[in-house]
């Protein structure tokens, strides 16, 4: 009995929602039997209902991610913020105790330190939340590929339904222009071509052949008897039985991989975590030493003063302004990159670009133009190269390295006329852009003819088509019959003057075997066996270079042959020649690859296209050399993770790979501590884009799925833009290191100054800096110049050195030693001033300062102003400040002036003086502060005089180990 008459329970028992048959290796009859459907009547209503329950909707499912509150709470798990929160609560407790005991000083505001600290904590938490809370939209973009209407046969009737209602076993109809709504096995097809580039990465539309039986390990791009969800029918029609829906489709597998990919921390985030742990550990160690030492030498009655000292030290060690400065710096970097056509979607990606060691690039649309372009034509007496880009009908014809006029080569002109006539594509101009309507391969032929001034639209009226033997996957050739209405062929001296002419194109072997003559100059002459062998050898050589090759021929006719006489009519033709074409490389990519190599970055090609094509493009661009290995997907499938990690060290070209293979390659590189950028434009690239340290999507040709999965979008689809973005990433990281040196040098100086106070003042446990004053220094006095340092221009050799070492500590290359050294120098200056000013102010009491506390304001002011000299001097590690052009970064000078004025306002504006707990300084006291501050600038400039040599980063080859 028919499948749709089987008992429902029998059907549901035999069908599984995880059914994973190798459909390409099954016949149509086996597929229909396995899915228990009927090709004539389709599924019954009961079967559909039962399968919808079992399989669910034909939609992509989304896993639950982190909620808003979870993301927000995660921001406050940072160890430095936890330390600040603890300090805020302890400070509040002390203020409350003083308030209850009546020990509040005049003009003092209770809890102001607590409020200020908590405000900073909340600000940092909000900044982190805003960076992380961007919802991933890749799955939503995938869903847009799965929601077309579809024609389906059910209960003996053809109806149109929403694609989400499809179930395995449904019989659907395809025609040109429709989007495939589910994965399925072809039942029948007529000249069916499906564009699968978004899924497989292959530029050429796939010719579908329902009666092919393939092996189980056939690559996705070669599964010509199947169709896949999200692809587009560009030509012909077909009938399909649905095999997989929803998350079981190839598109669903990509969605699963997208959701399973977990984003690892960027190098900068890892370094900031390391920095936080180091600072907090160091701070706690110093606090313990001070408290324990203070109790031992001063007794327990000094515990409150010791706690206040500890609080100030804890606040001093945390660079409260650093997260904001880094965020703003990265944002500035994104703006510079936008001006260079690179749109950054995630801020941390800016710095990560500076550490990129490997760029794994998709071929189609990224390294190539995603446009088939004729490279050359080969006739009996000449090989003619054709230049030009894309579909622009402009280019030179070159023979032996010299430009020629195709009018002087009658064989070539006749061949190009065949390209224009035996063609169904249309070349048209849309504004500044040329585009093809129709098959890309035929489009390339139309463009090649147009470059010789053979415009297809004009010749269509001169030689109207009166007959056709269409292309099919079985015939692998196409013939058209045109009528010479007004003797137009007489203008083409190489072709005979006849009323009708047949032009044929197709597989060179099949076209050649139907030819008995060959065109030589203006005449057709008998085709010899030697000539046949030469043509076939040329065909094999061109195909071996990864080129797509077509053969052309013609036949003079006196009458139009009947439609059912193609076998006899397509005999006795005259061979015209071969045309080879290629999805040509982008012209700027070759130079970009060279720049990558100079910068120590290894470029790799990972594509779903054919091995020979990938190899040819890679060698042309310099990504691989002749003889280097190419790894194909079926071989990669057999490797375990360890074997693949060995292979990725030597292989630069990967062909015929599936989406999961791209993901594995990226992971194998990351397991070797490589920082990987993955470029791509298709749906198939999305999981690898998300997994990579930097996912780079194409802005023009890229799908929404690839863009949403990426960290960076190339607005001009230019591979060279990646190199420009990498340069900006290196500049950003260099500037981040520069202002970290600046900020943390100051913090270390503050901590050492506070810790040394009891020693310098003979056991006086008085805090020279309150938490509020320290926050002012860390946020304003340090923060504004740090932001100015963030826009320091690039160094000349930034792209002539190796990538930033991903294993490198934030303290590497002398940064840690520099911070400690500068911190000690700053502390010595401050402590010396403290020792002198403490005695001076106590000996010169004033009515406004009866306790002689002006020494604290002098220390506070000196620390702030000394950092201004530090900011000016740190712009260069080797050049003296006087030799630097101040106009290259005027923001530094502006920030120094502004910060100095703000600092003086805290001393001389009474409301600010009362709030920050400072005292009025007379001219002599201020001059002493300025004098001690200038010594910081003098010290750093003196270091430059002693060292006076550059410290270039070590050069590494692109494939060298970081160890």
Q: Residue 409: CB partners within 8 Å, gap ≥ 6?
A: 379, 382, 384, 397, 399
The last residue of a domain, from among 249, 276, 304:
249
Phi-psi group of 813: left, alpha or beta (phi > 0 → left; psi -120 to 50 → alpha; rest → beta): left
Mean pLDDT (whole number) for 850-860: 90
The Cα–Cα gap between 612 and 610 comes to 6
Residue 962: per-residue pLDDT: 36
Residue 317 and residue 418 in one domain: no
Percent of the chain with pLDDT over 90: 33
Q: What is the pLDDT of residues 250-279, one digit of tens each?
A: 888 887 777 666 666 667 777 777 777 877
* Shared-domain flag, residues 937 and 910: yes
Structural domain total, the chain: 4
pLDDT of 921-959, one tens digit each?
Answer: 999 999 999 999 999 999 999 988 887 654 444 444 333
**Residues 88-105, buried b or exposed e (16+ Cβ, 10 A)?**
bebbbebbeeeeeeeeee
Region 871-877: mean pLDDT is 86
Q: Which two tokens stand for residue 348?
A: 């941390």
Which CATH number characterizes residue 682's domain? 3.40.50.1000
Q: How far is CA 414 from CA 113, 466, 609, 654, 676, in A?
A: 88, 20, 32, 39, 50
CA distance 136 to 618: 33
- What is the CA angle 146-150-156, rounded to 5? 140
Give the confidence band of 65 by pLDDT, cuts at 50, 70, 90. low
| Segment 520-547, tens digit of pLDDT | 988 899 999 999 999 999 998 998 887 8
Verify that 150 and 242 share a domain, yes or no: yes
Instruction: Give the pLDDT confidence of 783-829 residue by residue, as tens digits.
Output: 888 888 888 887 767 777 778 776 777 788 788 899 899 999 999 99
Compute the CA torsion angle 704, 708, 714, 717 (nearest 10 deg): -30
Residue 362 has φ and ψ, to the nearest 5°, of -70, 155
Encoding tokens for residue 157?
């009737």
Higher pLDDT, 177 or 411: 411
pTM above 0.75, yes or no: no
Residue 102 belongs to some domain of the structure: no
For CA atoms 927, 932, 936, 938, give the dihedral sign: positive
Lowest mean per-residue pLDDT among 205-209, 280-284, 507-511, 606-610: 280-284
Among residues 707, 739, 765, the one where a domain terminates is 707
Residue with the two structure tokens 């023009």: 700
126 pLDDT higher than 90: no
Question: Distance (Å, rounded) from C-alpha 326 to C-alpha 635?
Answer: 44
Averaged over 133-148, what is the pLDDT?
Answer: 51
Which of 562-566, 663-667, 688-692, 717-721 has maximum average pLDDT?
663-667
CA distance 776 to 113: 11
What CATH number does the domain containing 461 carry?
3.40.1110.10
Per-residue pLDDT averaged across 414-421, rounded? Answer: 94
- What is residue 803's predicted lDDT score, i.e. its pLDDT? 80
Asked whether residue 92 is assigned to any structural domain, the reply reads no
Distance CA 833, CA 824 (A): 14
Q: Which residue would you say has higher pLDDT here, 609 or 572?
A: 572
- Looking up residue 917, the CATH number of its domain turns out to be 1.20.1110.10
CA-CA-CA-CA dihedral for 279, 282, 284, 288, to nearest 10: -160
Q: Are residue 638 and residue 677 in the same domain, yes or no?
A: yes
755 pLDDT tier (thresholds 50, 70, 90): confident
Q: 740 and 701 in one domain? A: no
Whether residue 609 sits in one domain with residue 573: no
Q: What's the domain range around 821? A: 266-335+726-794+808-947
- Per the DSSP assignment, residues forming a β-bridge with 399 are 402
Give residue 870's pLDDT: 92
In this structure, are strands 712-714 and 676-680 parallel, antiparallel, or unpaired? unpaired
pLDDT at position 426 is 87
- Length of the chain counted residue by residue: 963
Q: What is the pLDDT of residue 959?
A: 37
Integer Cα distance of 579 and 370 in angstroms: 19
What's the rounded mean pLDDT across residues 676-691?
Answer: 82
Catalytic residue among 362, 484, 782, 853: 362
Q: Given this model, what pLDDT does residue 325 score? A: 76
Sign of the dihedral through C-alpha 149, 153, 159, 162: negative
- Same structural domain, 884 and 787: yes
Which pLDDT does position 105 carry in this prediction? 61
Residue 107 falls within a domain, yes or no?
no
Tens digit of each residue's pLDDT (9 = 90 or more) over 459-504? 888 899 999 998 876 788 999 999 998 878 876 667 888 999 999 9
Residues 300 and 439 in one domain: no
pLDDT, position 304: 67
510 shares its domain with 594:
no
Q: Which of 869, 864, 870, 856 is nearest to 760 (CA)?
A: 856
Residue 833 pLDDT more than 90?
yes
- Mean pLDDT, the chain, rounded, equals 82
Instruction: Note whether 308 and 427 are same-domain residues.
Output: no
User: Active-site residue 430, yes or no?
Assistant: no
Please check whether residues 208 and 280 belong to one and the same domain.
no
Supply the Cα-derived Rg of the chain in whole angstroms: 37
Are 273 and 419 within one domain? no
Q: Are 219 and 656 in contact (CB under 8 A)?
A: yes
Distance from first CA to last CA of the chain, Å, rounded?
A: 70
pLDDT score for 28: 92
Asked if 12 and 50 count as a contact pair (C-beta separation under 8 A), the reply is yes
Q: Does residue 73 lie in a domain region?
A: no
Cα 566 to Cα 309, 784, 839, distances in angstroms:
99, 81, 113
């Amino acid at each position: 009995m028919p499948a749709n008459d089987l008992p429902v329970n029998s059907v549901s028992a035999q069908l599984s929602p995880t059914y994973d048959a190798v459909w390409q290796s099954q016949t149509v009859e086996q597929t229909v039997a396995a899915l228990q459907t009927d090709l004539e009547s389709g599924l019954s209503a009961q079967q559909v209902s039962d399968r919808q329950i079992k399989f669910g909707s034909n939609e992509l499912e989304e896993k639950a991610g982190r909620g808003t509150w979870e993301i927000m709470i995660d921001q406050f798990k940072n160890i430095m913020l936890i330390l600040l929160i603890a300090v805020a609560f302890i400070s509040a407790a002390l203020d409350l105790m003083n308030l209850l005991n009546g020990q509040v000083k005049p003009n003092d505001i209770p809890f102001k330190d607590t409020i200020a600290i908590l405000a900073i904590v909340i600000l940092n938490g909000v900044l982190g939340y805003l960076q992380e809370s961007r919802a991933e939209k890749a799955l939503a973009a995938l869903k847009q590929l799965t929601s077309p209407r579809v024609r389906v046969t059910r209960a003996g009737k053809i109806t149109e339904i929403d694609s989400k209602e499809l179930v395995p076993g449904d019989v659907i109809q395809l025609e040109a222009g429709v989007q495939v709504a589910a994965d399925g096995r072809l039942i029948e097809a007529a000249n069916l071509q499906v564009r699968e580039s978004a899924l497989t990465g292959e530029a050429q539309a796939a010719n579908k052949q329902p009666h092919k039986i393939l092996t189980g390990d056939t690559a996705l791009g070669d599964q010509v008897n199947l169709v896949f969800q999200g692809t587009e029918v560009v030509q012909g029609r077909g009938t399909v039985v649905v095999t997989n829906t929803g998350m079981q489709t190839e598109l669903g597998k990509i969605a699963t991989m997208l959701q399973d990919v977990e984003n690892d921390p960027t190098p900068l985030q890892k370094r900031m975590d390391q920095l936080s742990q180091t600072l907090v550990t160091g701070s706690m160690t110093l606090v313990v030493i001070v408290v324990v030492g203070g109790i031992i030498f001063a007794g327990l009655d000094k515990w409150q003063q010791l706690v206040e000292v500890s609080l100030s030290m804890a606040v001093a060690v945390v660079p409260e302004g650093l997260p904001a400065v880094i965020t703003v710096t990265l944002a500035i970097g994104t703006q510079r990159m936008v001006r260079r056509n690179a749109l950054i979607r995630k801020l941390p990606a800016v710095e990560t670009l500076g550490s990129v060691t490997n760029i794994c690039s998709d071929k189609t649309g990224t390294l190539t133009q995603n446009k088939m372009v004729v490279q050359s034509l080969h006739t009996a007496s000449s090989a003619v190269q054709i230049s030009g880009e894309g579909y622009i009908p402009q280019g030179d014809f070159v023979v032996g390295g010299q430009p020629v006029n195709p009018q002087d080569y009658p064989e070539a002109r006749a061949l190009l006329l065949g390209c224009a006539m035996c063609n169904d594509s249309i070349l048209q101009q849309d504004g500044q852009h040329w585009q093809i309507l129709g098959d890309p391969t035929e489009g390339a032929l139309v463009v090649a003819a147009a470059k010789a001034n053979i415009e297809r639209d004009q010749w269509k009226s001169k030689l109207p088509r009166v007959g056709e033997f269409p292309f099919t996957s079985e015939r692998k050739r196409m013939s058209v019959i045109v009528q010479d209405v007004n003797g137009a062929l007489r203008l083409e001296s190489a072709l005979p003057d006849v009323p009708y002419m047949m032009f044929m194109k197709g597989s060179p072997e099949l076209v050649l075997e139907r030819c008995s003559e060959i065109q030589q100059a203006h005449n057709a002459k008998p085709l010899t066996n030697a000539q046949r062998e030469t043509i076939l050898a040329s065909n094999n050589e061109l195909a071996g270079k990864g080129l797509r090759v077509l053969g052309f021929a013609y036949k003079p006719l006196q009458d139009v042959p009947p439609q059912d006489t193609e076998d006899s009519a397509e005999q006795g033709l005259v061979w015209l020649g071969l045309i080879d074409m290629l999805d040509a490389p982008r012209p700027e990519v070759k130079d970009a690859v060279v720049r990558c190599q100079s910068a120590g970055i290894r470029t790799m090609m990972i594509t779903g296209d054919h091995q020979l094509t990938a190899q040819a493009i890679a060698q042309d661009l310099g990504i691989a050399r002749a003889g280097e290995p190419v790894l194909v997907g079926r071989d990669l499938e057999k490797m375990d993770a360890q074997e693949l990690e060995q292979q990725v060290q030597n292989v630069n070209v990967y062909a015929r790979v599936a989406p999961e293979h791209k993901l594995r390659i990226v992971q194998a590189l990351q397991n070797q501590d490589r920082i990987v950028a993955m470029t791509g434009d298709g749906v198939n690239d999305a999981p690898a884009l998300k997994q990579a340290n930097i996912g780079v999507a194409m802005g023009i040709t890229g799908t929404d799925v690839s863009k949403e999965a990426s960290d960076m979008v190339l607005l001009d689809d230019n591979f060279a833009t990646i190199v420009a973005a990498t340069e900006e990433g290196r500049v950003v990281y260099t500037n981040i290191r520069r202002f970290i040196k600046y900020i943390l040098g100051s913090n270390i100086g503050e901590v050492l100054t506070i810790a040394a106070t009891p020693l310098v003042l003979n056991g006086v446990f008085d805090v020279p800096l309150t938490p509020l004053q320290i926050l002012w220094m860390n946020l304003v006095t340090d923060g504004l110049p740090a932001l100015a340092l963030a826009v320091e221009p690039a160094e000349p050799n930034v792209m002539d050195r190796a990538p930033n070492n991903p294993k490198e500590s934030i303290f590497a290359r002398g940064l840690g030693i520099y911070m400690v050294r500068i911190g000690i120098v700053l502390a010595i200056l401050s402590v010396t001033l403290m020792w002198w000013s403490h005695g001076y102010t106590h000996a010169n009491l004033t009515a406004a300062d009866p306790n002689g506390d002006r020494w604290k304001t002098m220390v506070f002011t000196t620390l702030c102003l000394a950092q201004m000299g530090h900011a000016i001097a740190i712009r260069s590690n080797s050049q003296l400040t006087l030799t630097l052009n101040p106009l290259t970064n005027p923001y530094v000078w502006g920030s120094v002036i502004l910060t100095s004025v703000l600092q003086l306002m805290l001393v001389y504006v009474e409301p600010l003086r009362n709030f920050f707990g400072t005292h009025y300084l007379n001219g002599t006291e201020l001059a002493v502060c300025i004098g001690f501050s200038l010594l910081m600038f003098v010290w750093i400039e003196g270091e430059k005089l002693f060292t006076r040599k550059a410290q270039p980063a070590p050069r590494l080859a692109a494939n060298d180990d970081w160890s």
